[in-house]
Structure 1
Amino acid sequence: MTADAVQVRRGRKFDQVLDGAREIFLRDGYEGASVDDIARAAGVSKATLYSYFPDKRLLFKEVASAQCQLQAEEAMTTLDLTQPPDRVLRQVARTFLGFIYSDMGQRIFRICVAEADRFPELGREFYQSGPMLMRNALVGYLTQAQARGEVRIDDMDLAADQFAELCKADLWPKLVFGLKQSFTDGEITRVVDGAVDTFMARYGP
C-alpha cells in the first residue's frame, strides 16, 4: 500500500470511518466493539473499513490518537506564551483537566487501561498523541519563562510532570474510583489555584 493511496482514501471516507469507530468504541469499549457495528455506524461496508484498517487495534489507536491530538492542538491555539506563568499555568491546567475529566477523555483512558496487558502500545499511543504534546508544550513555555527570569527550574521535564500531577490532586482519584462523576467549576478552580500556587512556590524566581 502506498502513501499516496492512503492519502486519497483519507479524503473520501477516512473521517467517516473514524466517526463511526469513535461512537462504537465509546459505547461498547474496545473488547465489546464489533467490526460489523463500526461499519454500520460509519455507513460503510466491512470491505471499505478493512481497506483503511486491517485490524481493530489499529483503528482504535487512530481514534484515540486523533481525539487526543485534536484536544492538544486546540489547547495550544488558546495559549498566549508571552504571558507570565501565573496566567499561562492556569490556562494549561484548565485545558488539561477539561480533557481528562471529559466523557471522551475518561472513556479513552479506561479503554487504554483495560487493554494495557494485551496491547501495551495502546497506552503509549494515547500518551504520545495527547498528554506528551501538552507536556512538550509546557516544557517549551517554561524554558521561555526561565529566559525571562520568571521561573527557576533545573529539570524542565520533571517540573512539567509535577505540574500535571498537582492538577490531578483530589479530583482525579475520586473520578477514577467512581466516587464522583463530575465536578463543579469551584472544585476545579480550587485545585487549579492550589496547583499553580504550589508550583510557583517551588519554582518561582
Structure 2
Amino acid sequence: MRQGLAEKRQAIVRGARRVFGRDGYTRAAIDSIAKEAGVSTRTIYNHFPEGKAQLFRVVVVEGSEEVVRAHVDAIDRRLYKVTDLESDLCDFARAWMRPLYEHGDHFAVVRQLRAEVGHIPQEFLDTWRASGPDRARKVAAARFRELADEGLLDAPDPERAVTHFFWLTGAEISDRTYHGAIRMPDEERDELIASGVRAFLHGYLPR
C-alpha cells in the first residue's frame, strides 16, 4: 500500500475508533466517521467496501492486537526473571493494567461494545475475544504454567489460575474506574493490587 493510501487508512481507523468509542456501534454513522477522520465518505468506502461493519471489525481487531502486544511485553519484562514472586507479581499486575489508560480510545470502544452486547453480532464479539482478551490470557497462562513447573506456584490448571489472578488484582480496579474511563490514584491502585496478589498467593503458593 502506497504511503499516502496507508496514511489515509490510518486516519480513517483513528477517526472510526473515536466515533465508535463515543457513539457505540449502532449509533455510529459513516458521515460522522468521515468528519472525524477528515476524509470523504467515498474515501472510506474505497478503503472499506463493506462500510461500517468492516470498519468496526478492523477497529476492534487492530486495537486488541495493540493491547495484546502491551500485555506480552508486561509478561516478558516482569515474569521471566522472577526473584521475589510477590513483588514481581505486583509489578506484573500494574503493567498489565496500564493499557487501560495508554490505549484509552480502544477501551472506550470496548466499553461501548459491552454496553451494546445485545445489539452487536456474535461474530464481532467472538472476533474481539479471540484477538484480544482470550489471546492475552493464553500467553499469560503459558507463563504461569512455567512458574508452576519451576516450583514457584501450585497451579495444576494454569488457565484457571490466571483467571483468579486477574480477578483478584484487576476486577475492582476495572469496576471502580469504569473500565479505564476515570483514573484511580496510584497509591489506591497499588494497595488493591498488593492485597489481590497476597490473596492469590494464599491459594497458589506450593504447600
TM-score category (smaller protein): 0.7 to 0.9
Q: Would you say 1:71 and 2:67 are equivalent positions?
A: yes
- Are the aligned partners of 2:60 and 2:128 in contact in 1 as well (CA < 8 Å)? yes
Alignment of 1:30-109 (within 5 A): 30-53=25-48, 54-78=50-74, 79-80=76-77, 81-84=79-82, 85-100=85-100, 103-104=104-105, 106-109=107-110
Separation in 2, partners of 1:89, 1:68: 23
Separation in 2, partners of 1:90, 1:133: 22
Alignment of 1:125-164 (within 5 A): 125-164=127-166
1:101–1:121 distance in 2 versus 1, CA, 3 Å: farther
Larger RCO (alpha carbons 8 Å, 6+ apart): 2
Separation in 2, partners of 1:62, 1:192: 33
Q: Would you say 1:173 and 2:175 are equivalent positions?
A: yes
Q: TM-score, normalised by structure 1?
A: 0.81
Q: Would you say 1:118 and 2:119 are equivalent positions?
A: yes
- Which amino acid in structure 2 is aligned with residue 161 of structure 1? T
1:8–1:89 distance in 2 versus 1, CA, 3 Å: farther
Q: TM-score, normalised by structure 2?
A: 0.81
Equivalences, count: 197
CA deviation string 1:140-168 (max 9, x = no partner) = 11122122111111111111111111123
Q: CA deviation at 1:131?
A: 1.7
Q: CA deviation at 1:190?
A: 1.0
- Which amino acid in structure 2 is aligned with residue 185 of structure 1? D
CA deviation string 1:111-144 (max 9, x = no partner) = 1123211223333333222222321121111122
Separation in 1, partners of 2:157, 2:59: 33
Separation in 2, partners of 1:140, 1:116: 29
**Residue 168 of structure 1: SS of its match in structure 2?**
helix
Separation in 1, partners of 2:88, 2:45: 43
**Residue 19 of structure 1: SS of its match in structure 2?**
helix
Identity of aligned residues (%): 25
Separation in 2, partners of 1:24, 1:151: 44
- Which amino acid in structure 2 is aligned with residue 153 of structure 1? A
Separation in 2, partners of 1:99, 1:74: 7
Separation in 1, partners of 2:190, 2:96: 13
- Are the aligned partners of 2:169 and 2:194 in contact in 1 as well (CA < 8 Å)? no
Q: CA deviation at 1:58?
A: 2.3
Separation in 1, partners of 2:21, 2:42: 22
Separation in 1, partners of 2:22, 2:175: 23
* Gap regions ≥5 residues in structure 2: none
